[in-house]
Amino acid sequence: MSAAALRTYLTAARDLIPFASGPSAHAESLRGVIIANLFFEDSTRTRLSFSLAAKRLGADTIDLTGAGSSASKGETLRDTARNIEAMGVDAIVVRTKASGGAALVADSVGCPVINAGDGKHEHPTQGLLDVLTFAEAKGRLDTFDLSGLSLAIVGDIISSRVARSAIAALTTLGCRVICVGPPTMAPKGLTCLGCEVEHDFDRILRDVDGVMMLRIQFERHGESPAPAAPAPSGLTGSLREFRAFHALTQARARLLKPGAVIMHPGPVNRGLELDHAVADSGASVILRQVSRGVAVRMAVFKALVRAG
Protein backbone atom coordinates (compact mmCIF):
# COMPACT_ATOMS: atom_id res chain seq x y z
CA MET A 1 0.00 0.00 0.00
CA SER A 2 1.31 3.45 -0.88
CA ALA A 3 2.06 6.16 1.67
CA ALA A 4 -0.86 8.18 0.30
CA ALA A 5 -3.29 5.29 0.75
CA LEU A 6 -2.01 4.63 4.27
CA ARG A 7 -2.47 8.29 5.18
CA THR A 8 -6.03 8.22 3.85
CA TYR A 9 -6.95 5.39 6.22
CA LEU A 10 -4.99 6.88 9.11
CA THR A 11 -6.54 10.32 8.69
CA ALA A 12 -10.02 8.80 8.67
CA ALA A 13 -9.17 6.79 11.79
CA ARG A 14 -7.76 9.88 13.53
CA ASP A 15 -11.00 11.75 12.90
CA LEU A 16 -13.01 8.83 14.28
CA ILE A 17 -11.10 8.59 17.58
CA PRO A 18 -13.69 10.69 19.48
CA PHE A 19 -16.46 8.37 18.33
CA ALA A 20 -14.71 5.05 18.95
CA SER A 21 -15.49 4.94 22.65
CA GLY A 22 -18.87 6.63 22.90
CA PRO A 23 -21.99 7.78 21.05
CA SER A 24 -21.10 8.26 17.41
CA ALA A 25 -22.18 10.86 14.92
CA HIS A 26 -21.62 8.08 12.40
CA ALA A 27 -24.13 5.70 14.00
CA GLU A 28 -26.25 5.63 10.84
CA SER A 29 -23.36 5.20 8.38
CA LEU A 30 -23.85 1.46 7.94
CA ARG A 31 -27.44 1.08 9.09
CA GLY A 32 -28.87 -2.10 7.54
CA VAL A 33 -25.45 -3.59 6.78
CA ILE A 34 -24.60 -7.09 8.05
CA ILE A 35 -20.95 -7.95 8.66
CA ALA A 36 -19.85 -11.54 9.24
CA ASN A 37 -16.90 -12.09 11.58
CA LEU A 38 -15.27 -15.42 10.71
CA PHE A 39 -12.69 -16.17 13.37
CA PHE A 40 -11.06 -19.56 12.93
CA GLU A 41 -8.30 -18.67 15.39
CA ASP A 42 -8.51 -17.51 18.99
CA SER A 43 -8.90 -13.78 19.46
CA THR A 44 -10.06 -11.29 22.06
CA ARG A 45 -9.00 -7.77 21.10
CA THR A 46 -9.34 -8.10 17.33
CA ARG A 47 -12.70 -9.89 17.27
CA LEU A 48 -14.36 -7.61 19.80
CA SER A 49 -12.80 -4.53 18.21
CA PHE A 50 -14.26 -5.37 14.79
CA SER A 51 -17.67 -6.08 16.34
CA LEU A 52 -17.65 -2.84 18.32
CA ALA A 53 -16.48 -0.82 15.30
CA ALA A 54 -19.36 -2.21 13.24
CA LYS A 55 -21.89 -1.41 15.95
CA ARG A 56 -20.56 2.15 16.34
CA LEU A 57 -21.41 2.61 12.65
CA GLY A 58 -24.88 1.09 12.99
CA ALA A 59 -24.12 -2.26 11.33
CA ASP A 60 -25.24 -5.65 12.59
CA THR A 61 -22.75 -8.47 13.05
CA ILE A 62 -22.85 -12.23 13.01
CA ASP A 63 -20.00 -14.17 14.57
CA LEU A 64 -18.67 -17.56 13.62
CA THR A 65 -15.78 -19.41 15.22
CA GLY A 66 -14.00 -22.49 14.01
CA ALA A 67 -15.30 -24.73 16.79
CA GLY A 68 -18.90 -23.75 16.07
CA SER A 69 -18.75 -23.96 12.30
CA SER A 70 -18.92 -26.64 9.63
CA ALA A 71 -15.16 -26.24 9.27
CA SER A 72 -14.97 -28.67 12.20
CA LYS A 73 -16.80 -31.16 9.93
CA GLY A 74 -14.37 -30.70 7.05
CA GLU A 75 -15.94 -27.84 5.10
CA THR A 76 -13.35 -25.74 3.27
CA LEU A 77 -12.75 -22.10 4.06
CA ARG A 78 -13.82 -21.20 0.52
CA ASP A 79 -17.16 -23.02 0.85
CA THR A 80 -17.81 -21.56 4.29
CA ALA A 81 -17.30 -18.04 2.95
CA ARG A 82 -19.44 -18.61 -0.13
CA ASN A 83 -22.31 -20.02 1.92
CA ILE A 84 -22.20 -17.09 4.32
CA GLU A 85 -22.16 -14.59 1.44
CA ALA A 86 -25.18 -16.40 -0.05
CA MET A 87 -27.11 -15.60 3.13
CA GLY A 88 -26.85 -11.91 2.27
CA VAL A 89 -23.98 -10.51 4.32
CA ASP A 90 -22.41 -7.26 3.07
CA ALA A 91 -18.81 -7.87 4.18
CA ILE A 92 -16.67 -10.60 5.72
CA VAL A 93 -13.96 -10.20 8.33
CA VAL A 94 -11.77 -13.30 8.41
CA ARG A 95 -9.07 -14.55 10.75
CA THR A 96 -7.41 -17.85 9.92
CA LYS A 97 -4.33 -19.90 10.73
CA ALA A 98 -3.63 -20.28 7.01
CA SER A 99 -1.29 -17.72 5.46
CA GLY A 100 -3.11 -16.39 2.40
CA GLY A 101 -6.48 -17.46 3.81
CA ALA A 102 -7.98 -13.97 3.54
CA ALA A 103 -6.95 -13.71 -0.10
CA LEU A 104 -8.51 -17.11 -0.76
CA VAL A 105 -11.80 -15.87 0.69
CA ALA A 106 -11.60 -12.62 -1.28
CA ASP A 107 -11.13 -14.59 -4.50
CA SER A 108 -14.19 -16.69 -3.67
CA VAL A 109 -16.80 -14.05 -2.88
CA GLY A 110 -17.97 -10.74 -4.29
CA CYS A 111 -18.37 -8.76 -1.06
CA PRO A 112 -15.55 -6.88 0.68
CA VAL A 113 -13.21 -9.09 2.70
CA ILE A 114 -11.09 -7.69 5.54
CA ASN A 115 -8.05 -9.58 6.76
CA ALA A 116 -8.06 -9.91 10.56
CA GLY A 117 -4.87 -11.95 10.53
CA ASP A 118 -3.80 -14.82 8.30
CA GLY A 119 -1.24 -17.24 9.67
CA LYS A 120 2.27 -15.79 9.77
CA HIS A 121 1.52 -13.49 6.86
CA GLU A 122 -0.23 -10.18 7.64
CA HIS A 123 -2.48 -8.35 10.09
CA PRO A 124 -3.21 -5.09 8.23
CA THR A 125 -5.55 -3.34 10.65
CA GLN A 126 -3.13 -4.05 13.49
CA GLY A 127 -0.39 -2.39 11.45
CA LEU A 128 -2.62 0.66 10.98
CA LEU A 129 -3.48 0.95 14.66
CA ASP A 130 0.17 0.56 15.64
CA VAL A 131 1.11 3.44 13.33
CA LEU A 132 -1.81 5.56 14.55
CA THR A 133 -0.79 5.03 18.19
CA PHE A 134 2.89 5.71 17.54
CA ALA A 135 2.18 8.81 15.45
CA GLU A 136 -0.16 10.14 18.13
CA ALA A 137 2.44 9.61 20.86
CA LYS A 138 5.07 11.41 18.78
CA GLY A 139 2.87 14.34 17.72
CA ARG A 140 2.66 13.33 14.06
CA LEU A 141 -1.12 13.05 13.66
CA ASP A 142 -1.23 16.02 11.31
CA THR A 143 0.94 14.53 8.56
CA PHE A 144 1.68 10.93 9.55
CA ASP A 145 5.22 11.60 8.39
CA LEU A 146 7.40 9.39 10.59
CA SER A 147 10.73 10.50 9.13
CA GLY A 148 13.42 10.87 11.77
CA LEU A 149 11.72 8.43 14.16
CA SER A 150 12.80 4.91 15.01
CA LEU A 151 10.94 1.96 16.50
CA ALA A 152 12.37 -1.32 17.75
CA ILE A 153 10.19 -4.40 17.32
CA VAL A 154 11.46 -7.02 19.76
CA GLY A 155 10.80 -10.72 20.13
CA ASP A 156 9.50 -13.51 17.91
CA ILE A 157 9.58 -11.55 14.65
CA ILE A 158 9.76 -14.56 12.35
CA SER A 159 6.37 -15.88 13.54
CA SER A 160 4.64 -12.50 13.77
CA ARG A 161 2.13 -11.27 11.21
CA VAL A 162 1.82 -8.17 13.42
CA ALA A 163 5.49 -7.41 12.83
CA ARG A 164 5.19 -7.83 9.07
CA SER A 165 2.28 -5.42 8.75
CA ALA A 166 3.82 -2.92 11.17
CA ILE A 167 7.15 -2.99 9.30
CA ALA A 168 5.39 -2.37 5.99
CA ALA A 169 3.33 0.55 7.29
CA LEU A 170 6.04 2.20 9.40
CA THR A 171 8.78 2.08 6.79
CA THR A 172 6.45 3.31 4.05
CA LEU A 173 5.80 6.40 6.19
CA GLY A 174 9.52 7.01 6.77
CA CYS A 175 10.17 5.35 10.13
CA ARG A 176 13.37 3.45 10.81
CA VAL A 177 12.41 -0.02 12.06
CA ILE A 178 14.86 -2.25 13.91
CA CYS A 179 13.85 -5.87 14.50
CA VAL A 180 15.50 -7.32 17.59
CA GLY A 181 15.62 -10.89 18.84
CA PRO A 182 17.72 -14.03 18.95
CA PRO A 183 18.84 -15.23 15.50
CA THR A 184 16.18 -17.94 15.43
CA MET A 185 13.44 -15.35 15.94
CA ALA A 186 14.99 -12.39 14.12
CA PRO A 187 17.07 -13.78 11.24
CA LYS A 188 19.05 -11.40 9.07
CA GLY A 189 16.84 -12.28 6.11
CA LEU A 190 14.14 -10.02 7.55
CA THR A 191 16.05 -7.07 6.08
CA CYS A 192 14.28 -7.86 2.79
CA LEU A 193 11.19 -6.28 4.40
CA GLY A 194 12.97 -2.92 4.64
CA CYS A 195 13.93 -3.09 8.30
CA GLU A 196 17.21 -3.51 10.13
CA VAL A 197 18.02 -6.57 12.22
CA GLU A 198 19.86 -6.48 15.53
CA HIS A 199 20.44 -9.26 18.04
CA ASP A 200 21.76 -7.11 20.89
CA PHE A 201 18.78 -5.36 22.49
CA ASP A 202 20.94 -3.32 24.84
CA ARG A 203 22.92 -1.85 21.95
CA ILE A 204 19.96 0.02 20.46
CA LEU A 205 17.87 0.57 23.57
CA ARG A 206 18.98 4.16 24.26
CA ASP A 207 18.51 5.37 20.71
CA VAL A 208 14.96 4.44 19.71
CA ASP A 209 11.76 6.48 20.03
CA GLY A 210 9.68 3.47 20.89
CA VAL A 211 9.79 -0.25 21.60
CA MET A 212 7.11 -2.70 20.51
CA MET A 213 7.45 -5.99 22.36
CA LEU A 214 6.07 -9.22 20.91
CA ARG A 215 5.16 -12.39 22.73
CA ILE A 216 6.73 -15.69 21.77
CA GLN A 217 4.23 -17.38 19.46
CA PHE A 218 4.28 -20.75 21.19
CA GLU A 219 1.37 -22.06 19.12
CA ARG A 220 3.31 -21.44 15.89
CA HIS A 221 6.30 -23.33 17.24
CA GLY A 222 4.18 -26.33 18.16
CA GLU A 223 4.73 -25.69 21.88
CA SER A 224 2.46 -25.27 24.87
CA PRO A 225 1.75 -21.67 25.90
CA ALA A 226 3.80 -20.04 28.62
CA PRO A 227 2.20 -20.15 32.06
CA ALA A 228 0.24 -17.04 32.96
CA ALA A 229 2.44 -14.38 34.58
CA PRO A 230 5.49 -16.68 34.88
CA ALA A 231 7.97 -15.80 37.61
CA PRO A 232 11.50 -15.29 36.24
CA SER A 233 12.74 -17.93 38.68
CA GLY A 234 10.23 -20.37 37.22
CA LEU A 235 11.35 -20.04 33.61
CA THR A 236 13.36 -22.83 32.12
CA GLY A 237 15.95 -23.22 29.39
CA SER A 238 15.42 -21.07 26.32
CA LEU A 239 12.74 -18.94 28.00
CA ARG A 240 15.15 -17.90 30.75
CA GLU A 241 17.72 -17.05 28.08
CA PHE A 242 15.17 -15.06 26.09
CA ARG A 243 14.20 -13.06 29.14
CA ALA A 244 17.83 -12.42 30.07
CA PHE A 245 18.71 -10.90 26.70
CA HIS A 246 15.49 -9.69 25.06
CA ALA A 247 12.85 -8.88 27.69
CA LEU A 248 11.94 -5.28 28.47
CA THR A 249 12.66 -5.38 32.17
CA GLN A 250 12.43 -2.44 34.55
CA ALA A 251 16.20 -2.05 34.35
CA ARG A 252 16.13 -1.82 30.55
CA ALA A 253 13.09 0.49 30.55
CA ARG A 254 15.04 2.97 32.66
CA LEU A 255 17.59 3.22 29.84
CA LEU A 256 15.05 4.37 27.25
CA LYS A 257 15.40 8.00 26.25
CA PRO A 258 12.81 10.47 27.55
CA GLY A 259 9.57 10.30 25.59
CA ALA A 260 10.14 6.80 24.24
CA VAL A 261 6.93 4.76 24.22
CA ILE A 262 6.32 1.11 25.00
CA MET A 263 3.93 -0.86 22.81
CA HIS A 264 2.62 -4.42 22.63
CA PRO A 265 -0.09 -5.85 20.34
CA GLY A 266 -1.22 -8.29 23.04
CA PRO A 267 -1.75 -10.68 24.58
CA VAL A 268 1.10 -9.85 26.96
CA ASN A 269 2.99 -12.64 28.68
CA ARG A 270 3.80 -10.62 31.80
CA GLY A 271 7.04 -11.63 33.43
CA LEU A 272 8.40 -13.02 30.18
CA GLU A 273 8.84 -10.42 27.43
CA LEU A 274 7.58 -7.54 29.58
CA ASP A 275 7.72 -6.79 33.29
CA HIS A 276 4.47 -5.99 35.10
CA ALA A 277 5.66 -2.52 36.12
CA VAL A 278 6.81 -1.71 32.59
CA ALA A 279 3.52 -2.78 31.01
CA ASP A 280 1.65 -0.50 33.41
CA SER A 281 4.10 2.41 33.36
CA GLY A 282 3.47 5.94 32.12
CA ALA A 283 5.49 5.18 28.99
CA SER A 284 3.16 2.35 28.02
CA VAL A 285 0.59 3.01 25.28
CA ILE A 286 -0.62 -0.60 25.17
CA LEU A 287 -4.20 0.19 26.17
CA ARG A 288 -4.24 3.13 23.77
CA GLN A 289 -3.38 0.69 20.98
CA VAL A 290 -6.51 -1.27 21.90
CA SER A 291 -8.74 1.80 21.85
CA ARG A 292 -7.25 3.08 18.60
CA GLY A 293 -8.01 -0.29 17.05
CA VAL A 294 -11.72 0.49 17.18
CA ALA A 295 -11.19 3.79 15.34
CA VAL A 296 -9.04 2.09 12.69
CA ARG A 297 -11.60 -0.62 12.07
CA MET A 298 -14.38 1.94 11.87
CA ALA A 299 -12.34 3.75 9.20
CA VAL A 300 -11.79 0.52 7.26
CA PHE A 301 -15.50 -0.34 7.34
CA LYS A 302 -16.47 3.17 6.19
CA ALA A 303 -14.01 2.94 3.30
CA LEU A 304 -14.89 -0.56 2.12
CA VAL A 305 -18.53 -1.23 3.02
CA ARG A 306 -21.46 0.61 1.55
CA ALA A 307 -24.95 0.73 3.09
CA GLY A 308 -27.99 0.09 0.96
Q: Which residues are catalytic?
A: 45-46, 73, 95, 123
Q: Is the peptide bond before 232 cis (omega within 30 degrees of 0)?
A: no
**Apex CA 35: angle with CA 170 and CA 23, to 5°?**
75
Give the per-residue SS3 of 191-236: HHHCCEEECCHHHHCCCCCEEEECCCCHHHCCCCCCCCCCCHHHCC
Burial of 139 (0-12, 13-18, 19+ CB in 10 A): exposed
> Is the alpha carbon torsion for 193, 199, 201, 205 positive or negative?
negative
Q: Report the amino acid identity of residue 49.
A: S
Residue 54 DSSP symbol: H
Burial of 5 (0-12, 13-18, 19+ CB in 10 A): exposed
Count CB atoms within 10 A of the CB of residue 280: 12
